[in-house]
Each structure stands twice: as C-alpha cells, then as structure tokens.
Structure 1
C-alpha cells in the first residue's frame, strides 16, 4: 500500500504533513457507529520518511540569464535604464530544521538544462533538448527524471550531475543558478517546488 499525505498537529509548530500508511486500526462499533460518532478509536500509521513537512508547498522559478539593454542615447531625464534582465538566480528558503528534497522542473525551449547549488557546487544537469511545452521533472526524493510526466530520462544526466537523491535543500537559505546550452531560449524556466522539512 502506498503512503498517503497525513496532516497532524503534534506541537506548537502547528499542523505538519507526513507521508504514511495505516497499518492497524481499532474502531469500536458501538451505538454511535451508525451515526458516524466514534469514541475511543485508534489508527496506527507508519512513515518511511521520519521528517515532517510544511503543509503549503513553496514554489520558486527563474528564467535563463538575459542581458539588460542599458542606457539609451541621447539621455533624457529621468534616466531610463530599460527593462531589467534576468540573472537566472533562484533563492530558496527552507524554514525547517531538516534537509528537504525538492522537485525541479525544467521547461523548454532549452538544451542541456542545469541547476547549480551555489554553496555546495552540486549540479543537476541533463543532456537533453526540450521543445516549447516540454517539461523535464526531477524528483530528488524518488530519484526519478521524467519527460512530460511519462518516460524516464534518468540516463540523460551528464557527468557533472550529482545523484538526484543527494540534491537536497539544507535548512536556511540556498542560492541556485539556472543555466543551459547555447541554443536555449530566454523564456526557458527552472522551477523548484519544495516543502520546509522538520525533525
């Protein structure tokens, strides 16, 4: 039986999420059972992951780096520096006290998409072209790499890429850089989905 999301409120941190499965239950079938009123019941849950997670999923996204147009000549007042470019940077905040496994999504058009943890140097990089509308989903907890939520593309990991299950978010702030091959479009994106993790 697969583990299912279970939200429990155990301490002053409020409700937190675990993935667990029910292994035993005791439900007394007294007079209130037919009315849906059960007193003194118990359910035993088992979770393979001991961490608890924030209930709300956090999402951070970035496009590939693009240059800024800069000042236009002749200059007028006020100065117009043009539309800001993109740096390809992502800032992720794990507010918990345990490492968390993110889900990373690369969206095309892009070639050889890569996400680098600036602090550790760990990289997720895949030698694969993604057309517009294609999504490469990397689940670092499950260790899977799926193209359009279908076929596995785990084999496309480059030599620079670390094993997916080792790519985690430490507690606190983590800075990432999104980069790609030369034939990529500036509209390509990298999205990091995660939940703060707690012991």
Structure 2
C-alpha cells in the first residue's frame, strides 16, 4: 500500500454525491457526516498483463515491445456518527445506493490537488453487528482503467475554427510596415502534464457535411462522415471509441479511419480540424486530462 495524505474523498454518479472527510482528533466534529480511513491502492503501479513466452532454444524468454497494465482495486473504510439510529441507517442506505446500477467517479483530494478515477462499486459492507448510532463500513471499488486523472471541471477546452487565411499586405506599402493579422491554423494544442498517457476528447460544433481530425505529430486521423447541422455538437471520446450527438444519439458508426492517438505523459499533441462544406462557423474543441499511474 502506497501511503496517501488524502484529506477528502467523494463518490458521485452525476446526480448524487457523498463526501467523506479525513479523520479528526475530535470525532464529535463529524457528527452527521462520513469520515474515511485506510485508503488503499490509490497510488502506485498495478501488475503487468504480460504472460512470459519462453525461447525454445535459448535462455529466458521473448522481450515485449510494449507493456499493458492490469486494472486496479481501490478500497477504504468509513465511519458515520449519527444523532440517532434512524439517521445512521439512512446514511448507510444512501451509501449503498450510489453506484448500485452504474459506475461512479471517485475523487480524492490530497495536499497537491485532486485526482479522479471512474470505478464500479463492488460492495459496501457494514462491519457493525449491533444497531447503534455509530457505524463502520468497508467500501470496495474497481477501476477498469488503473490511471488517475485530473478533475474534468478543472480542465478547459481548447477551441479552433476552420483553417482560414489572414489578410494580405497591400502594395505599394509605406515603411515601417505593419503586417495585418487574422487567419486561423485550425489547430488546437493539448497538453498532458501528468506522467501517464491520456486519450483526448473532441467536440465538433456544426455545421458541416463531414469533418477530419488529424494529429499533426503522428498523422493519425479520425473522420466523421455524417452531416452535422449548425447548432448541433458531436462529442468523440477516443478512449471509449465512441461518438455522441447532442448528448443523446450514438453516432459511432459514422467514425472513419479510427487512427486513435493518445497524448503521452509530459508531452503535447496538436490536432488539425478540417470541416467539409462548412455552414456558419463550425468549430472543434479538444481536451485531454492529465493522467498519472
């Protein structure tokens, strides 16, 4: 177990949120609120998924070109001191309900900042056998992606319009020359300040008949081959390999090329936006969450 100095934990499913506060010397300050202890496996590295293949007529085995990491189990203990038995039981019921049917986001706040993971709640086990106002539970979570990420609400979207030319200089000109501005490269630069690779998310704001996203450094392409009317938004999640239009319709079948790129740790990537048959002022927004192991 890698030690952590977490000061707060929260579990959120997008509609409800439960906050667990760090241990206090005086437990009476936490009456009516959850307290956590023994956060396990939040930091550190998970095992490799590689299974060795021996060399038939030589020492050792074959060396892998890349390494893939296993998922992660996260757990912590929690206490609740209620003003009554009824309040304590209601708190346990609320904790048992969050994440019962869908994944939740766990956010852990430490002195250097907060990071998150998407997890499923494996179990919430009350450890007290007696009915009383003081309750202790064990919370077991499972993160399919072992990385932890920056808090999404803290990361801004980078925005660009379609590529456009700047204004030219009219000759003859009078010195000193003042070159006109304007124009757009049609690119966004996404920076991953963490130590683990992270997959970007893009938003395509209509209108256009189709669009192409190209990673400048690698040449990787993601195309969207369906008209998007002015005012509609298509969000492409490269980690999930999925596209959603206007927050409700799955339009992943219209993704073309699917040459998915990640932003390596401590690096940046630039992405070019090229809409076809633009209507109005189509734009592309991009964001990558810094990631750590």
**Band of TM-score, shorter chain:** 0.7 to 0.9
Which gives a bigger RCO, structure 1 or 2 (Cα 8 Å, sep 6+)? 1
Which SS does the other structure have where 1:113 is aligned? strand
Cα distance, 1:13 vs structure 2: 5.0
Structure 2 contact 207–282 (Cα < 8 Å) conserved: yes
Q: How does 1:109-128 map to 2 (within 5 A)?
A: 109-128=207-226
Which SS does the other structure have where 1:110 is aligned? coil
Aligned to 1:69: 167
**Aligned counterparts of 1:41 and 1:153: Cα–Cα separation in 2:** 42
Q: How does 1:87-166 map to 2 (within 5 A)?
A: 87-158=185-256, 161-162=257-258, 166=260
**Aligned counterparts of 2:248 and 2:124: Cα–Cα separation in 1:** 36
Residue 150 (structure 2) aligned to one of 38, 54, 58: 54
**Aligned counterparts of 1:9 and 1:132: Cα–Cα separation in 2:** 40
Tell me how many residue pairs correspond in the alignment: 188
Structure 2 contact 225–255 (Cα < 8 Å) conserved: yes
Which SS does the other structure have where 2:253 is aligned? helix
Structure 1 contact 16–52 (Cα < 8 Å) conserved: yes
Residue 264 (structure 2) aligned to one of 145, 163, 170: 170
Cα distance, 1:76 vs structure 2: 5.2
Q: CA offsets per residue over residues 48-73 of structure 1, 9 Å max, x none?
A: 11110011234211111111112245
Which SS does the other structure have where 2:243 is aligned? strand
Name which one, 1 or 2, has greater alpha-carbon Rg: 2
Q: Structure 1 residues 72, 46: CA separation in 2 closer, same or farther (over 3 Å shift)?
A: same
**Aligned counterparts of 1:4 and 1:76: Cα–Cα separation in 2:** 64
Does residue 96 of structure 2 align to residue 2 of structure 1?
A: no
* Alpha-carbon RMSD: 2.5
**Aligned counterparts of 2:255 and 2:109: Cα–Cα separation in 1:** 39
Structure 1, unaligned stretches of length 5 or more? none
**Aligned counterparts of 1:87 and 1:115: Cα–Cα separation in 2:** 13
**Aligned counterparts of 2:156 and 2:284: Cα–Cα separation in 1:** 14
Structure 2 contact 187–272 (Cα < 8 Å) conserved: yes
TM-score of the two chains, using structure 1 as the length reference: 0.81
